[in-house]
């Protein structure tokens, strides 16, 4: 007898850096377990492969994991599924869902009229229950509606959005156990069951594991702030070790690992997991780098873990804001400043990379409180050894901040912007993703938002990517009352009031910041018409840093150096000789891609790959040049390790060997895709 088929997807627009589909892997493994392998589940991450499979062999169910980075392509897939056969049951599930907002629910189901069911919250057992009902009712959606459990949402014939009412325990048999109990091992491992084996053969994907679920913090900007997710529950240490062993033995083509926990280090046992990861690194050479989120209230346990993992990680000391009133508004409590600076100092002494994150604007924040907070932070930190990152505040359906009550209370205004790299045609379907971000509040205007975006641009140049590090060194060597933020503010004023190339560049950046923001009506129009080109966008910081460095054959960069020199002299922060010395250091450390481009254009095709053979980055550049220097470099960054622009443009950079290896791999990929 032929098995019923279910297609399960966690769809992505690219492969490089994409995590293994862990969540749908759990569900697939549980389907195998519960239905004793009587159902054939197939996992997809590529939208084109999924539509081809649907067209070739119709499944009973198409179920997709739904997040902010793939919600629109998901909508197109379920629409296509119904086009192929109206009998295919379509299901979405995941945290990108405001289950308590009736108006939002109605609009969501009206927009996604081809959607049969949405599974909210942890989905393993709920999806099993849905499949059980589908089988018992011969895959008739109408007959299933009276048998569903809470958190499974659907729209009835009258257009009302409802959810199931039958308690889950009454539907499932004796194999059901409460997955929110301390031990999560009742959920079968997609690694140990072999469900994710085929993804070890896909270049560029990154293995991902989960050791703990839940988050005790109630931050209003996060979907994990939901009270139902506040209780921690853990997979056993034995289970986690087995999964890590399984991955390590198959890691020949992999260097990275993602730990999906919301607060790694929150449990005392996490130091043991860190030690185990270190042993695997020594034995297998894997993982070489680990992406993880440390506990919000970073403490000594974080320092111990970081000391064990060393260069495999970068410690994130997320602050989001330095203002106590704003922290109260977002229901967040950071560790006190004394402990924070103590931890940061310990990391610096141990030569462990750290990263501090802020989001803007948050409810109650003003331009002044935001700048003051950053200023005080920069006074106490050595920003030469600390990476600073800013992010616009995203409004996530299901988070408290995105509710109408919160929007009204704080005067939140928002806009939609395209996620870079998400506009793609997959043959039968085309998708593009947008995110809703806060652009103003009662206390933070749109002009303030634009100012911080420009501040962000220059912080990236000086403190995040450290391309102009010698200038920071010079500034910090002087006796000064203010932090480096004060100097950046002076630069912004000078760039905007100048009459030269810098004013021209900043005017273009201003325009790009405004143009990337779409109203909800504009967003809906673009999305519904599938004319995504109207929402074309750039990664503003990356694109315009590259433009500043190499645009107009280097004229922008030379003009910028003059501007820096003038501001430093006017503010008595250096004499001509020492300023010129620092600017020369920057010039000498930059890879001269303008010269490479000229050489490339004037060289016969057979000789292109031999240009400057001693520099592997430049040599690889010659293989993928597309006629536009800035676009070529932007593409090279796009396929490299995110957040490391310096490894692309600087001759000497921290961890140079590791970063050169990444660029070699990346630019080789570019060459094969041209």
Residue 1 confidence (pLDDT) above 90: no
- Cβ neighbours, 10 Å, residue 36: 8
Confidence grade of residue 582 (pLDDT, cut at 50, 70, 90)? very high
Least confident stretch, 86-95, 179-188, 264-273, 660-669: 660-669
* pLDDT given at position 668: 34
What value does the mean pLDDT take over residues 638-656?
A: 71
* Count of Cβ atoms closer than 10 Å to residue 299 Cβ: 15
| pLDDT bracket for residue 596 (50, 70, 90) | confident
Q: What is the reported pLDDT for 410?
A: 98
* CA triple 20-26-27, angle to 5 deg: 120
* Between 638 and 63, residue with greater pLDDT: 63
Beta strands in 554-661 (DSSP E): none
pTM of this prediction exceeds 0.75: yes
Predicted confidence (pLDDT) at residue 482 exceeds the cutoff of 90 = no
pLDDT score for 38: 95
Q: What is the DSSP string of 575-587?
A: -HHHHHHHHHHHH
Give yes or no for a cis peptide into 361 (omega within 30° of 0): yes
Give the pLDDT of residue 225: 53
What CA–CA distances, in Å, run from 618 to 612, 631, 672?
A: 7, 15, 17
What pLDDT, on a 0 to 100 scale, did the predictor assign at position 657? 38
Domain coordinates in residue numbering, the chain: 4-171, 405-466+481-590, 595-674
pLDDT band of residue 656 (cuts 50, 70, 90) is very low
For residue 65, give the 3-state DSSP assignment.
Answer: strand
pLDDT at 617 over 80: no
Three-class SS of residue 316?
strand
Mean pLDDT to the nearest integer, 327-345: 83
Maximum mean pLDDT: which of 223-237, 410-424, 440-454, 487-501: 440-454
pLDDT of residue 639: 61
145 close to 53: Cβ distance less than 8 angstroms:
no
Three-state DSSP state, 109:
helix
Q: Crossing angle for the helix pair 469-477 and 484-497, nearest 10 degrees?
A: 120
CA distance 657 to 662: 9
pLDDT at 352 over 90: no
pLDDT at 162: 96
pLDDT of residue 660: 41
Q: Which of 526 and 419 is assigned the larger pLDDT?
A: 419
The average pLDDT across 471-492 equals 89
Q: 98-123 pLDDT, tens per residue?
A: 999 999 999 999 999 999 999 998 89
Report how many helices (DSSP H) and strands (DSSP E) the chain contains, helices first.
27, 19
Give the per-residue pLDDT at 478: 86
The CATH architecture assigned to 4-171 reads: 3-Layer(aba) Sandwich (3.40)
Q: Looking at per-residue confidence, does 350 or 639 come out higher?
A: 350
| Mean pLDDT score, 555-580 | 94
The rounded percent of the chain whose pLDDT value lies above 70 is: 89
Q: Please give the average per-residue pLDDT across 412-434, as a whole number.
A: 91
Q: Which residue has the higher pLDDT, 355 or 221?
A: 221
Is residue 133 over pLDDT 80?
yes
- For the residues 576-592, what does the mean pLDDT come to? 95
Q: With bands split at pLDDT 50, 70 and 90, how would you rate the model's confidence at 449?
A: very high
447 within 8 A of 455, measured Cβ to Cβ: no
Q: Are 52 and 71 in contact (CB under 8 A)?
A: no
Is the pLDDT score of 196 beyond 80? yes
CA distances from 114 to 10, 58, 60, 246 (A): 18, 16, 15, 39
Residue 674's Cβ-count burial label (10 Å; 0-12, 13-18, 19+) is exposed
What's residue 604's pLDDT? 65
- The stretch 360-388 carries a mean pLDDT of 88
pLDDT for position 335: 75
> Is the C-alpha dihedral spanning 634, 640, 641, 645 positive or negative?
negative
Least-confidence region, from 388-392, 429-433, 537-541, 569-573: 537-541
Closest listed residue to residue 51, CA positions, set 89, 72, 92, 80: 80
Report pLDDT for 300: 73
pLDDT at 640: 59
Q: Are 344 and 354 in contact (CB under 8 A)?
A: yes
Q: Residue 297's pLDDT is what?
A: 64
Residue 229 — pLDDT band, cuts 50, 70, 90?
A: low
d(CA 651, CA 587): 10
Geometric angle at alpha carbon 552, from 549 and 557, rounded to 5°: 30
pLDDT for 673 equals 31
Residue predicted with more confidence, 73 or 15: 73
The dihedral built from the CA positions of residue 364, 369, 371 and 375, taken in this order, carries a sign that is negative
Cα separation of 94 and 115, whole Å? 14
Average pLDDT, the chain: 87
Binned at pLDDT 50, 70 and 90, residue 655 comes out as very low
Per-residue confidence band for 605, with pLDDT thresholds at 50, 70 and 90: low
What is residue 91's predicted lDDT score, i.e. its pLDDT? Answer: 98
pLDDT surpasses 90 at 35: yes
- Of 417, 392, 426, the closest CA to residue 534 belongs to 417
């Amino acid at each position: 007898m032929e098995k019923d088929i279910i297609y399960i997807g966690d769809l992505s627009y690219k492969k490089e850096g994409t995590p293994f589909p862990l969540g749908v892997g759990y569900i697939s493994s549980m389907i195998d377990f519960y239905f004793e392998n009587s159902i054939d589940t197939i996992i997809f991450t590529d939208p084109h492969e999924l539509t081809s499979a649907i067209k070739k062999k119709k499944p009973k169910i198409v179920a997709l994991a739904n997040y902010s980075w793939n919600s629109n392509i998901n909508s197109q897939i379920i629409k296509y599924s119904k086009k192929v056969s109206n009998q295919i049951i379509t299901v979405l599930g995941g945290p990108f869902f405001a289950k308590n907002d009736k108006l939002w629910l109605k609009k969501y189901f009206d927009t996604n009229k081809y959607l049969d069911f949405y599974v909210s919250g942890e989905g393993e057992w709920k999806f099993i229950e849905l499949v059980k009902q589908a089988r018992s009712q011969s895959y008739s959606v109408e007959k299933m509606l009276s048998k569903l459990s809470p958190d499974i949402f659907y729209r009835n014939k009258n257009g009302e959005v409802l959810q199931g009412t039958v308690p889950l325990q009454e539907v499932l048999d004796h194999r059901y156990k409460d997955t929110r109990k301390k031990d999560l091992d009742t959920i079968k491992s997609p690694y140990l069951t072999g469900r994710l084996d085929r993804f070890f053969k896909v270049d560029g994907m990154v293995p991902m594991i989960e050791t703990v679920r839940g988050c005790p913090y109630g931050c209003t900007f996060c979907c994990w702030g939901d009270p139902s997710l506040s209780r921690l529950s853990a997979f056993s240490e034995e289970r986690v070790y087995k999964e890590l062993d399984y991955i390590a033995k198959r890691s020949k083509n992999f260097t990275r690992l993602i730990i999906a926990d919301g607060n790694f280090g929150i449990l005392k046992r996490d130091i043991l997991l860190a030690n185990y990861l270190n042993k695997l690194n020594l034995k297998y050479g894997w993982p070489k780098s680990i992406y993880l989120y440390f506990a919000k209230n970073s403490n000594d346990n974080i320092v111990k873990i970081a000391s064990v993992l060393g260069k495999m990680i970068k410690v994130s000391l997320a602050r989001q804001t330095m203002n106590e009133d704003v922290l109260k508004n977002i229901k967040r409590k950071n560790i006190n400043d004394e402990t924070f600076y103590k931890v940061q100092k310990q990391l610096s002494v141990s030569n462990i990379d750290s990263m501090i994150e802020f989001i803007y604007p948050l409810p109650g924040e003003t331009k002044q409180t935001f700048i003051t907070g950053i200023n005080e932070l920069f006074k106490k930190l050595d920003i030469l050894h600390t990476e600073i990152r800013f992010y616009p505040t995203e409004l996530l359906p299901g988070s408290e901040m995105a509710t109408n009550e919160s929007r009204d209370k704080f005067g939140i205004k928002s806009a939609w912007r395209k996620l870079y790299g998400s506009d793609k045609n997959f043959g039968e379907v085309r998708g593009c993703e947008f995110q809703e971000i806060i652009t103003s509040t009662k206390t933070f205007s749109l002009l303030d938002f634009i100012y911080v975006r420009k501040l962000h641009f220059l912080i990236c140049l000086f403190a995040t990517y450290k391309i102009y590090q010698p200038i920071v060194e010079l500034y910090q060597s002087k006796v000064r009352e203010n932090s480096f933020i004060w100097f950046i503010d002076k630069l912004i004023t000078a760039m905007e009031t100048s009459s030269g190339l810098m004013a021209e560049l900043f005017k273009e950046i201003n325009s790009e910041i405004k143009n990337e923001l779409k109203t909800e009506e504009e967003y809906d129009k673009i999305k519904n018409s599938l004319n995504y080109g109207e929402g074309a966008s750039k990664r503003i910081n990356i694109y315009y840093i590259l433009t500043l460095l190499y645009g107009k054959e280097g004229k922008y960069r030379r003009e910028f150096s003059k501007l820096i020199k003038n501001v430093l002299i006017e503010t008595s922060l250096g004499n001509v000789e020492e300023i010129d010395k620092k600017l020369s250091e920057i010039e000498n450390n930059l890879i001269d891609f303008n010269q490479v481009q000229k050489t490339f254009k004037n060289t016969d095709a057979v000789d292109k790959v031999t240009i400057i053979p001693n520099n592997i980055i430049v040599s690889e550049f010659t293989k993928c040049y597309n006629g536009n220097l800035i676009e070529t470099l932007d593409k090279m960054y796009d396929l490299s390790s995110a957040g490391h622009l310096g490894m692309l443009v600087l001759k000497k950079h921290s961890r140079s060997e590791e970063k050169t290896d990444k660029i070699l791999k990346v630019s080789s990929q570019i060459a094969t895709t041209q």
